[in-house]
Every structure is written in structure tokens, then in C-alpha cells.
Amino acid sequence: MSDGIPPILAGDAQWRRLDARMLLVHPVQEAVRFLPALLVVFVNGRSNGRSPWWDLGFLAAIVVVGMMRWFTTRYRIWGGQIELRQGLLNRRLLMTPADRVRTVDVTAPIWHRALGLAKVEIGTAGGGPREHRIVLDALAAPVAAELRGELLHRLTQARADQQPAPDGSVVQEDAEQVLVALDPTWIRYAPLTTSGLVSAAAIWGFSAQYVEQADDLQEKVEGAVDRVAALGVGLAVVAGLLAALLLVSLLAVSGYVLTYWGFRLTRHTGGTLHTRRGLLTARATSLEEKRIRGVEIGRPLGLRLAGAGRLSAVTTGLGHEGTQGGSAWLTPPAPGEVVTRTAVSVIGDEPAVVGPITRHGRAARRRRYTRASVPAVLVCAATVWGATRVDLPAFLVVAGCLPVVFAPMLAADRYAALGHAVTPAHFVVRSGSFSQRRDALSRDGIIGVTIRESFFQRRAGVVTLTATTAAGRQRYHAVDLPVEVSTPLAAELLPGPFADLCGADLHPGGAAAEVSQAGNAVAADL
């Protein structure tokens, strides 16, 4: 498409196709998807002496299926609506008003980049399931950038209508402020995350399938193990651990580079945050600031020990729960002060990010200890009992009893993290040890409160208070809150409804009023 085209949103009623270069990409993608089936057909054909034309025919069918995707997908942006029509047998039409667009994600996997294409994913209000996202896979990179600019410019425009813009600044990429730019020295944090471990496990699982069949390889591996074992078991274990550590670190570092290379978080005058990242797959995400309901500061154990953390936004419209498939990341694993500064700058509420936290008290502490110790003691008892019955190796018994030593440390750390706070704008909860999080949730975004007490919690006089929201993880827990704290807290979070549900109870000396109200209820309170 030429540069002279009219703005896409104001565009005509014409249905457009995806970029024609996708005729090259779709068949390749389909072929990769059907690779196992292709291999089966090929191997089967060779062993049966079937004509190779069959294989070619099968391949051609896949290519045709891939190309059909291009022919059957059309979109248009017209009359304030984004419409996407897909499918040949299973037709579907997706429609969304352009002013409900909350996020725009532009992704370019490596073969898209090679051909100058980019995929556009449009998230809409409501944060519904993934099917509600509109995915245009793919457009020419300039068209994708223009579309993103215009969808977000529209947001700018909507705001400018309410308060007239000082000048005729209509271009979307004006006045951008860089909040975070990746510092290559942050790569040192990569081995402290679990991502290396995860990729190592994935590679292990993947290769194990093939190694099992390759007997000669197995012999080689066993030979190597024998040679190392000849050096002595202790040395072999140390060497193995070092090798594993090195491998995992290398994987983590390469993962970090692939994912976060060139990471930049910028703020635009239109009230949007943009992130860009990725070495091979380039990703650009735009979040509407109005839709951000808070931030999540993650401090997993490894990063915490190094004084680092990572930040993601709690927002509606990204379609996934949790960290929303990486779209909501606001920083890579980075030094603590960068995370804090960015968080403050995004939500503009410093006490919510660094302010003091209210602890949950003795019952909560006791519960941390029992919950950490009881399983550890049970496992230890089971191994010791096992050792008396059958001949267990000594190191197994030691390994089984090791958790008993670490359980109190875990419990102490978990209790130290546990807490909540309420600022004028945010509800803050913090918890966890291995994966510690501090979530600051905008109080405007709270759409309900759940107070849950298990049998044991009831005996300990604590409850778990959950604030529900349409953004991010959908639920944010304050665990093991003393019951007498929970009602005033809930009332603070949902002031309107609580006026009816507690009335005078909230004020000191309100217990009498509670009794009389409970008396009105059909059954007596216990």
C-alpha cells in the first residue's frame, strides 16, 4: 500500500485482505504445524514403495489450506467499527467498536520480519477471553504501525475533544517520554530467574524423546558418565552440578536477550504506555493508561537476593489472566530502584509502591509456621519410618529430613512478606517467598469483595479477604487477615455497599447494633 492512502479509520467500506506476502508465510506455518503428519506420510510412503506423487499431493494440500487462510480472511475498519471476517466452512465475524480498543499489540516473529510484515492484536474493553481479541496476521509493517498509531490516536483525539488541545498536535508519536530503556548490564539478573530452568526442562523433555531411541548416543553418554565417575563420586556430583548450573545460566541469559533485547517503555501524551522488545521476534505493545488498574511488583527469591525485581501492569483488555502473556510487562528483571521508580511513575502513588505495610499479626505468623512445618515433618517422619522398614540409602533419609530445617526459614520469610496497605488511591497486598509479589490495585477498579474462612482459619480468628477486579489476575488476596480488621478494610474498599451491610457497626461501640440486626435475621447467630 502506498503512503498516500487516506487514514485507515476514516476509511471506506471496502473489505481489505491481509498483506499478500502472507501467501508465503501461511503455507510455511501450516507445513510446520503438520510436520509430524507429513513425516509419517513420507516414511510410510517410502517403506510401502508408494509413488512420491502422493507425498507431493499431500504437501500441496497443506499449501492450499495455508493459502485459503489468506483468501478467506478480510477486515475493515469502518463506521467506528473494526470488523474481521474469517473462515470458509466455519465462518465467523468479529466486530468491535473502535472506541472500545484498549490495547494494541504489534508482533513480528522472525519470518514476518524477514518479509517486512507485522501481526496486529487488538484488545478491547471487558478483558474477555482470547477469542474476543482481534488478530490481524499479518499486515505490512508500515500499515501495522499506522493502524496502531491511528487506533491510539483516536484515544488521544477522544480526550482532546473533552479538553481542547493547545496546538494542532495530531500526530500520535509526539512528545514521548522514555521511562525505562534496557541497560545491558541487567542481563546479570537473568540466571537468577527461573526462566533458564524452565527452558532447560523443556529442552530435556524434548530431547529425551529422541535420545531414548538413539542407543549409540546413550552408550556415549554412559561412557562419559563412567569416566567422570572414575574421578570419584564427590567430584562427579560437583562437576555435574557445575555443568548444569552453567547450562541453565546460559539458557537464562540467551532467553533474557531474546525476550528483552532493546526493551523500552515510553509514555505518550495521548495517555498510552508503549513497550518495545525482542531480538528475533519484535514486539510492540500499547496500553491505554486509563485502563491500567495498578501494578504488580514481582520479587522472586533469586531477584530479591540481588536487590532486583520486575514490574508488570494490572490492566483490562489484554485477555489473559496473570501477567497477561507478557503483554503487560513494564520492566524486564531490573534493579530494584528502576522497578520502584517506574512503578511510581506509572501509578503516581509512591506510598502504594514503597510505603509501609500492615502486618497480619500473630495468628497469621503461627499459620505460616504450621503450614510450612507440617508437610516437612510428615515427609521426614515417612522417610525415617521407611528407613526402619527397608534399607534406604542414607542420603535419601537426609534429603527427606532437610525440609524440616528449611521450613522455619521459609515460614519466617513468608510472614515477613505478608501484609496489606490502603492508600487513598490503591489497595496494596504483598505475599509469598519464592515468588514474592507486591500488588497495588486501584481502588476504583475493585468490583467486589470476598471474605473466605476455612475451618482452621475460623478457629484461628483470621480470614482471607479478596478484592475482585476485571483487570490482571482478577483477584488479589490479603491472606490470614485478623477477622476484626477485615470488616473495616472491606468497608474501606467498598464504601457504598457497606453503609447498608454494617451501618453503625463500623463505629466504635457498634457491637450492640450488630446484635440487634442479627436478631432480625431469621436464624440466630452462633
Partner 1 sequence: MTVPALPRLREPANLVCPRARWLWLIGGIGQAVVLAGLQVGWWFIDRRDARGPHVVVAIVVGVLVLGYLIVMPIWRYRVHRWEVTATAVYTQTGWLTQERRIAPLSRVQTVDLTRGPIAQLLRLATVRVTTASAAGHLVIHGLDRDHAAVLVERLTAAAAAERGDAT
CB of 422 to partner 1, least distance (A): 16
Beta strands in 345-434 (DSSP E): 419-422, 426-431
CB of 209 to partner 1, least distance (A): 33
Would you tell me which residues interact with partner 1 (CB under 8 A)?
A: 125-127, 316, 321, 445, 447-455, 458, 461, 466, 468-471, 474-475, 483-484, 486-488, 490, 494, 496-502, 505-507, 510-511, 514, 517-518, 520-523, 525-526
CB of 305 to partner 1, least distance (A): 32
CB of 141 to partner 1, least distance (A): 32
Q: Which is nearer to partner 1, 364 or 376 (CB)?
A: 364
Long-range contacts for 93-97 (Cβ within 8 Å, ≥24 apart)?
94/132, 94/134, 96/122, 96/124, 96/132, 96/134
CB of 515 to partner 1, least distance (A): 9
CA–CA separation, 198 and 323 (whole Å): 17
Write b or e for each residue in 392-407: b if 16 or more Cβ atoms lie within 10 A of its Cβ, otherwise e.
Answer: eeeeeeeebbebbeeb
Q: Which is nearer to partner 1, 257 or 506 (CB)?
A: 506
C-alpha cell at 196: 533458564
Q: Which is nearer to partner 1, 182 or 449 (CB)?
A: 449
CB of 364 to partner 1, least distance (A): 16
CB of 451 to partner 1, least distance (A): 4
**Within the chain, what is the greatest distance between any pair of CA atoms?**
91
Q: Which is nearer to partner 1, 30 or 288 (CB)?
A: 288
CB of 342 to partner 1, least distance (A): 24
Q: Which is nearer to partner 1, 102 or 119 (CB)?
A: 102
Q: Which is nearer to partner 1, 323 or 433 (CB)?
A: 323
Q: Which is nearer to partner 1, 308 or 449 (CB)?
A: 449
CB of 445 to partner 1, least distance (A): 8
Helix axes 35-48, 22-33, angle to 10 degrees: 70
CB of 388 to partner 1, least distance (A): 23
Type of residue found at 119: K
**Of 37, 29, 10, nearest to 70 (Cα)?**
29
CB of 200 to partner 1, least distance (A): 32
CA–CA separation, 290 and 315 (whole Å): 9
The Cα-based distances of 4 to 1, 7, 55, 143 in angstroms read: 8, 9, 46, 12
Q: Which is nearer to partner 1, 63 or 506 (CB)?
A: 506
Q: Are 156 and 271 in contact (CB under 8 A)?
A: yes
Type of residue found at 428: V
CA–CA separation, 277 and 333 (whole Å): 13
CB of 506 to partner 1, least distance (A): 5
Count of beta carbons in the 10 Å neighbourhood of residue 164: 7
Helix axes 362-389, 394-417, angle to 10 degrees: 170
Q: Which is nearer to partner 1, 436 or 466 (CB)?
A: 466
Q: Which is nearer to partner 1, 255 or 461 (CB)?
A: 461
CB of 153 to partner 1, least distance (A): 22
Count of beta carbons in the 10 Å neighbourhood of residue 62: 20
Count of beta carbons in the 10 Å neighbourhood of residue 494: 16
> Residues 268, 271, 275, 281: what is their CA dihedral angle, to the nearest 10 degrees?
-100
CA–CA separation, 111 and 280 (whole Å): 9
Type of residue found at 271: G
Q: Which is nearer to partner 1, 89 or 511 (CB)?
A: 511
Find out whether the peptide bond into 20 is cis, omega within 30 degrees of 0: no
The Cα-based distances of 505 to 467, 493, 495 in angstroms read: 21, 16, 13
Q: Which is nearer to partner 1, 197 or 451 (CB)?
A: 451
CA–CA separation, 478 and 452 (whole Å): 10
Q: Which is nearer to partner 1, 393 or 519 (CB)?
A: 519
CA–CA separation, 217 and 209 (whole Å): 13
